[in-house]
Homo-oligomer: A and B are copies of this chain.
Amino acid sequence: MGDVPELDLSVGVVDLTADLVNIASESLHEDDIADAVERALSALPHLTVHRDGHSIVAATSLGRSERVVIAGHLDTVPENGNLPARLDGETLWGLGTCDMKGGVAVALKLAAELGAPVRDVTYVFYEAEEIAAEYNGLGRIAREHPEWLEGDFAILMEPSNAGVEAGCQGTMRADIRTSGERSHSARWWMGSNAIHKLGAALRTLDDYAPREVPIDGLVYREGLNAVGIRGGVSGNVIPDEAVLTVNFRFAPDRSEDDALAHLREVFAGYDLTVTDSAPGALPGLARPAAAAFIEAVGGQVGPKFGWTDVAKFTLLGIPAVNYGPGDPSFAHKADEHVPVAHLRSVHERLTRWLTP
């Protein structure tokens, strides 16, 4: 164990983002950053701090009529030649600047600066969002300490170009497996070619007409795509197995069960196995807490196409939106970066919303 890195929450939001980036925190290696966040928040007398694994929850207890949850994950994907953070004019570059230490920095600034917000606030900084769902810190808190997440409205600070993106689409991955019979490719008629049998499935994908689904004035956009294909034994063998992996992104008006039923219908007659699935989240913009937030930040609202942890709040019955600095297209890329303007804008708007 090294020393706990110091985090000075009094620096500006850009410097704080850089400081967070410079505490490496690849998934499953969040010890240092969680220690630093816990120590910094514990020094603030207006917050009550809890810890679960490498996730930190800090809450005000002012008896306000409304409680909001502001959440962000502490982990990043693996380094990709993009550390340490580097400020170049109006852009901060580096691993996690966009996904999502910029959002974490904003939340930490709010936690430090707002001793008496007009709404009670629960800040959640959690581990292991970038890897398999079983490790997800927010999921673990929802299972083991759901009372820590109670609230009327939640903001997940995933990058959303500093605009509000509501709800999220669900995602389901499935393997479509064909089988045949091996033979030497010189005597191919003795066998049955599993790869050839995927041809019709690929054609189905090509012909697929995805829905565009209006909900609460937003238009979600479904998609059904191949994300993997594999097959083959060796260069002179008719292959007896081939697998096409598809990813179905579905609008939040479908449940996971509905989504699976749809996939089974589209690929009728194929052996289909779901390998991964996560529900969508309805935007819930009609709920009062959400409406007040959107009015306060004055932003246009768009639909969230990607899947995010807002779905976890939806499952807890809490309306939630994505609202954070950074363009999500640059997440997980070597040239990951966040515009300084996004950091300042999100920080200022949330401050205004929570300040009398």
Contacts and interface: CB of A to CB of B under 8 A. Distances in A.
A283 to B, nearest CB: 16
Chain A interface mostly helix, strand, loop or mixed? mixed
B231 A228 contact: yes
Nearest 9 pairs of A and B residues by beta carbon: A228-B232, A199-B202, A186-B306, A195-B226, A188-B223, A186-B305, A185-B247, A229-B231, A199-B203
Given A185-B223, A187-B305, A199-B203, A235 B193 contact: no
Interface stretch (A16-24, A81-89, A139-147, A236-244): A236-244
A97 to B, nearest CB: 18
Contacts of A249: 185-186, 188
Nearest to A201: B199
A336 to B, nearest CB: 14
A173 B237 CA distance: 12
A245 interface: yes
Contacts of A39: none
B186 A235 contact: no
A235 B306 CA distance: 13
Contacts of A225: 185, 188, 193, 196, 238
A171 interface: yes
A221 interface: yes
A352 interface: no
A52 B335 CA distance: 57
Interface in A72-115: none
Interface string A53-88: 000000000000000000000000000000000000
A238 B329 CA distance: 13
A239 B226 contact: yes
A230 B230 CA distance: 4
A300 interface: no
B184 A329 contact: yes
Contacts of A193: 205, 225-226
Nearest to A222: B188
A196 B347 CA distance: 43
B239 A231 contact: no
A247 B236 contact: yes
A223 B247 CA distance: 33
Interface string A185-215: 1111110010110110011011000000000
Contacts of A233: 227
Interface in A124-178: 169, 171, 173
A6 to B, nearest CB: 36
Contacts of A199: 199, 202-203, 205-206
A307 interface: yes
B247 A235 contact: yes
18 contacts: A169-B186, A171-B185, A184-B328, A184-B329, A186-B306, A188-B223, A189-B221, A190-B329, A193-B205, A195-B226, A195-B227, A196-B205, A196-B225, A196-B226, A199-B199, A227-B233, A228-B235, A229-B232
